[in-house]
Amino acid sequence: MMKLLCARTGILVLLMLGSLPFSGCVMMKDKPAAEDLNLVMAGMDGSDGVSFEGAAALLIDGKTVPESSLYYGGKVADHNQISLYSLLPDGGHPASAAESGPHPLKQSSGDAPVYYTRMVKEDGKWTMKQASPALDGSNPLEALNPLRQLEELEKLDKKVTEEAGSARGTRVLRIELTAQEARKQLSAELEQKMLVIKPAARRDAAAADTHAKALEAKSALWEQKQAELQQRLNQADIRTVYYLKVDPKRNLPTRLTRNRTLTYPGKAGTTTEEAYITQVDFYGYK
């Protein structure tokens, strides 16, 4: 009963288990970092397709939560169609192998759930067209759509700088959200996840009457966890930083990393730190 809610109540756990072509002739060189980000987005819009592979993991006080690790891959086609699917820890796909090297976030683990989703951008919004059966009320791949993450970066209140010491032939942009924006972003994601797993009454009267007590208990538990999460969120310090690795010759992203860190009061006067890390590599641009 309410397996997801009962397992762990950390703030980030819920998030684990949802233009015109640009020629690319302008190179990034001695430009402000914020302008570089705009060039990257224009370059991405001008690409007909790209493949990607990524990983996501939740760490609590520096230790990885094993069941939170997710490895995924996918492809973008015709600018507005994207498919995502879960990968095995070694980069393999349940049906076909993904041609990519070991991922920095990957660790050995046991069998993991298999997810798949296909999304299309319609009227400026990404809409799910096909998906594998959701587990525990949600499909985590929807939230890992890398195109949506890049598009959101344009609109968020942020500070963009360039990381020093980048490898030759690349640039790394550091994009940190303001404290208010980081809190607003996380609050919206949590609200959406909680609505997905909120217990609902059965439609037919007979079934609703039979399961009335069970529904009441589930609803009470949901309300309790909702209040606990909101309390922790109110007490938490939230910091969200993106790192965008870019090929400056083509104005195209090669890697996007997001580090979201929450620090809040724990038990017996201690402090708890949760870090949710996602990283995705892009390759095979068309």
Chain segment 164-204, per-residue pLDDT in tens: 767 777 789 999 999 999 999 999 988 888 887 888 766 55
Q: What is the pLDDT of residue 41?
A: 84
Q: Which residue has the tokens 């990524």?
A: 54
What gap in Å lies between CA 280 and CA 52, rounded to an integer?
7
Reported as a single tens digit per residue, the pLDDT across 145-164 is 999 999 999 889 999 999 87
pLDDT beyond 80 at 208 = no
| CA 227, 136, 204, 215 torsion-angle sign | negative
- Contact 124/148 with Cβ under 8 angstroms? no
- Contact 148/52 with Cβ under 8 angstroms? no
C-beta neighbour count of 240 within 10 angstroms? 22
Read off the pLDDT band of 78 (50, 70, 90): confident
What gap in Å lies between CA 48 and CA 65, rounded to an integer?
37
C-beta neighbour count of 243 within 10 angstroms? 16
Here the tokens at position 65 are 């939560």
- Contact 173/255 with Cβ under 8 angstroms? no
**CA 91, 92, 93 angle in degrees (round to 5)?**
125
Q: What is the pLDDT of residue 98?
A: 37
Q: What is the pLDDT of residue 169?
A: 73
Span 203-209, mean pLDDT?
57
Here the tokens at position 184 are 């607003």
Question: Higher model confidence: residue 66 or residue 275?
Answer: 275
Q: What is the pLDDT of residue 228?
A: 86
**Average pLDDT, whole number, for the chain?**
79
- Give the DSSP H/E element, type plus range, for residue 100: none
Q: Which residue has the tokens 């070694």?
A: 90
Q: Is the whole-model pTM more than 0.95?
A: no
- Contact 71/54 with Cβ under 8 angstroms? yes
pLDDT beyond 50 at 206 = yes
Reported as a single tens digit per residue, the pLDDT across 214-242 is 888 888 888 888 888 888 888 899 999 99
92 phi and psi angles, rounded to 5 deg: -75, 155
C-beta neighbour count of 255 within 10 angstroms? 18
CA 66 vs. chain centroid, Å, equals 17
Q: What is the pLDDT of residue 18?
A: 39
What gap in Å lies between CA 131 and CA 172, rounded to an integer?
33
pLDDT beyond 60 at 249 = yes
Angstrom CA distances, 101 to 18, 126, 200, stand at: 26, 29, 44
234 Cβ neighbours under 8 A, 6+ residues apart: none
What gap in Å lies between CA 259 and CA 149, rounded to an integer?
13
- Fill in the DSSP letter of residue 48: S
Read off the pLDDT band of 128 (50, 70, 90): confident
pLDDT beyond 50 at 266 = yes
| CA 24, 255, 242, 71 torsion-angle sign | positive
